[in-house]
Structure 1
Amino acid sequence: MNSYDVVVIGGGSAGLSAATALARSRRSVLVVDAGEPRNAPAAGAHNVLGHDGIAPTALLELGRKEATGYGAEIRTDRAVAARRTDTGFEVDLDETGRVRARRLILATGLADELPDLPGVREAWGRSVLHCPYCHGWEVRDRRIGVIGSSPMSGHQTLMFRQLSDDVTLFTHTMPAPEGEELDRLVARGVRIVPGIVSALRTEGDAVRAVVLDGGDEIEVDAAVVAPRFVARAELYEQLGGTVTETPVGSFVETGPMGQTAVPGVWAAGNTADLTAMVVSSAGSGVAAGAAVNADLVAEDAEAAVRERATP
C-alpha cells in the first residue's frame, strides 16, 4: 500500500493547484482524478488571467504537467471510500487499490442538478447557461431567455440584462416577481412571460426557442437556468463530516484556508464554495495546500523534538 503525505481527491483547478503547492514544498502528493471535470461541456474557461478562453481540458493538461514536474503523482481513478487510521487516513480507489495519507484535501467539485426539461442537458454549457461571468460575453446582444425556477432567478435575469437589451424572464416555477423586484425588472425592460415551460427547442447544442405548455414558442438564442449545486461530499460524510445546506445547494463548510470540521481534512474549489470559478478555485487550492504543508511542518517539528528528547 502506497503512503503519501497528502492525497488530493479531484484533479480540477483546485486539486492540481493544491498538489503543485505541496509538491513545491517537497511533500509526497497523490492526486486521484476520475476525469470528469464539471466544465468539460464548455468551449472555453473565462476570467483566467493570461489564458482567457482556453479549453478547459487544455488548462487541466497544463496543470498536470506543472504538478508532475514538481514530483506530484496523478492517478486516473475514483476514490470510493475513506476512513481514519492511527497515522492519518486510508482511501479506497475503485481500480488501483488502497492508499494511505497523513492528510486529505477534498477537491471533488460539485454536481449541477439541472432542471428536468427537454433540451437543457443537450445544450448545457453551450447555449444553456447559468453564470454571466463564465459565458455572458459570448451571448451579449443576443436574445436571452431566463427560465425561472429559483428565488434568485430575478437577480439572475438582471445580471444577464447587463449583457443584452433583449432578455425575457419565463416565470416557470419561480415565485412570481412582485414589489421591488418586479419594479426593477420592468424598469430595465425585461419581458416577463408567465406559465410553465415544457421544453427548449434545440438544433444540436444551439437553443432556438422556449416552448411553453400549450405549444407556444418564443424564439431565443440562449437560455439561462438555475441548477441546484450539490458538492460531491460523499467521502467527507464517510469521515464524519456534515454538509451545509443552502437555498441553492449544499457544500462543505471550511475556514479561510480550507480546513474543515474533520481534523486532517481540507476542502477546496467548488466542494467548499458553490460560486467559485476556475481562478478562485485554483486560489483556494493553493491556500489549502499551503495550510496542509504548514500543519505537517508543525507535526514533523514536534516529532523531531520528541525523538531528540528520547534517550
Structure 2
Amino acid sequence: MKSHDGSERKRKEFIVYDAIIIGGGPAGLQAALTLGRMHRKALLLDSGAYRNGTVPHAHNLLTNDGRDPAELRRLARAEIAAYETVEIQDAVAAEVARTDSALVVTVDGVPLSTTAVILATGLADDLPPIPGLGERWGDRVANCPFCHGHEFAGQRVAVLNAGDHAAMLAAMLEPVASEVLVIDPEGVRDVGDAATGLRLHLDDGTTEDVAGAFVAPTSRQRAPFADQLGLERQESGAVRVDPFGRTSVEGVYAVGDMAHPDHLPGPMASLAAAIAAGQLAAVAVVQADAQVRAASPS
C-alpha cells in the first residue's frame, strides 16, 4: 500500500489507473482486493464517512459475526497492503467526469485519469425528527432485523416509521422478540434511556420501555457522483446497475447499497451483499480490460 504526499501530486496527473474506487467500506475494499489479486493498478479513495459509522458491532457476516466495523476495515486494509498495484488514500473525491478518452476523478484539485470508476459511496440515512433517536442510531435504534434483531432476543421491541412495511417487519421479528409494538412515530415525543434499553415518551403522557426500536429511514445518495455523471436511477433512488454493477455510463460501476439491480426489490443493506457486489464489479473491470488487451495487436 502506497501513501501520497504533496510531492506526488504533479506526477499523479499523468497516471492512468485501471480503476479508481471511491468508498472504503466493504464493497470498495473487496473491489480493491480483487483488482490487486489480478495485478491491476487501482486507487481506493476513502473519505472516512460510513453508513455504519455509528454501529459498534457488525453482524450476519460469516466468520466475523459481532466484529467492530472499524476492525473489519482495518483487517481488510492490512490484507490489501500485500498487493503492490493497489493504493489507498484517505481523501475525498470532489468530482467524477467522463471525457472522450477516459474517466477523470478530481482529488484535492488534482485530476486523476482512469479507465474505470467503481462507486462504493453508499447511502446516508435521514431519521424521523424525534429527539433522542439519532443519538442511539446504530445501537439501540436500528434498521435491519437481520443485522440487529438477534441482540434483542426474548425482549420487547418497537417498530417505528415502517409505513407499509410495518406489519411485515413486525412479523419477521415475532420469533425473535418477546413482544413487538408497532408505534406511530408522530405520537412519540422523544426517546430516552431506560434500564432495559429505551424509554419512548408518547404524546399522550404515557411511556413504553423497550429493548430496542426499528426504524425505516429515508435514504439518499451520500455522494454527488451519480448526479455528476447523470447515472440512471431506480425508483428507490439508488443507481440502476446490472448484476456486475455496470451503470448507464460506460466504465462506471456502482456497488453496495447505493446500487439497485433490476432483479432485486431494492438496494441491499448487507455487508455480505456489498462484498459480493464489490467482487463482481472488479471482475467486470478485469474482463473489460482483458477484452481490450486481446483485441490489441501484440
Tell whether the structures are fold-level matches, with TM greater than 0.5: yes
CA distance in 1, matches of 2:28, 2:194: 36
The TM-score normalised by the length of structure 2 is 0.88
CA distance in 1, matches of 2:230, 2:294: 28
Corresponding residue for 1:184? none
1:84 aligns with 2:84: no
Letter in 1 for 2:208: I
CA distance in 1, matches of 2:194, 2:199: 10
Corresponding residue for 2:278? 285
Q: Deviations over 1:215-251 (max 9, x none)?
A: 22111121111112223352122112132223xxx20
Q: More displaced, 66-75 or 255-264?
A: 66-75
Corresponding residue for 1:200? 191
CA distance in 2, matches of 1:272, 1:228: 15
CA distance in 2, matches of 1:292, 1:92: 20
CA distance in 1, matches of 2:254, 2:101: 20
CA distance in 1, matches of 2:289, 2:61: 31
CA distance in 2, matches of 1:148, 1:264: 38
Letter in 2 for 1:217: T
Q: Which runs of 5+ in 2 are unaligned?
A: 1-12, 261-266
Pairwise CA distance, 1:156: 1.3
In the comparison of the two structures, how many residue pairs are matched?
A: 278
Pairwise CA distance, 1:73: 0.4
Higher alpha-carbon Rg: 1
Pairwise CA distance, 1:38: 1.4
CA contact (8 A) 1:153 1:226 kept: no
CA contact (8 A) 1:237 1:243 kept: no
1:297 to 287, 290, 297: 290
Matches within 5 A, 1:202-217: 202=193, 207-217=197-207
Q: Deviations over 1:165-191 (max 9, x none)?
A: 221111345xxxxxxxxxxxxxxxxxx
CA distance in 1, matches of 2:91, 2:239: 22
Q: Which runs of 5+ in 1 are unaligned?
A: 174-195
CA distance in 2, matches of 1:222, 1:80: 38
2:251 to 264, 267, 278: 264
Corresponding residue for 1:192? none
2:241 to 254, 264, 271: 254
Matches within 5 A, 1:89-238: 89-93=103-107, 95=108, 97-172=110-185, 196-202=187-193, 207-232=197-222, 234-238=224-228
1:16 aligns with 2:29: yes
CA distance in 1, matches of 2:140, 2:23: 27
Instruction: List structure 1 runs of 4+ shifted beyond 3 angstroms.
Output: none
1:67 to 55, 77, 80: 80
CA contact (8 A) 1:128 1:207 kept: no
Pairwise CA distance, 1:203: 6.2
RMSD of equivalent CA atoms:
1.8
Pairwise CA distance, 1:202: 2.6
CA distance in 2, matches of 1:28, 1:69: 13
Partner SS for 2:241: coil
Pairwise CA distance, 1:212: 1.3
CA distance in 1, matches of 2:25, 2:99: 27
CA distance in 1, matches of 2:43, 2:59: 28
Corresponding residue for 1:239? 229
Q: More displaced, 42-51 or 270-279?
A: 270-279
Pairwise CA distance, 1:148: 3.2
CA distance in 2, matches of 1:149, 1:199: 17
CA distance in 2, matches of 1:242, 1:165: 43
Letter in 1 for 2:172: M
CA distance in 2, matches of 1:165, 1:58: 32
Matches within 5 A, 1:9-48: 9-48=22-61
Pairwise CA distance, 1:98: 2.4
The TM-score normalised by the length of structure 1 is 0.85
Letter in 2 for 1:268: V
CA distance in 2, matches of 1:13, 1:203: 34
Partner SS for 2:133: coil
CA contact (8 A) 1:200 1:207 kept: no
Partner SS for 1:237: helix
Q: More displaced, 232-241 or 52-61?
A: 232-241
Corresponding residue for 1:193? none
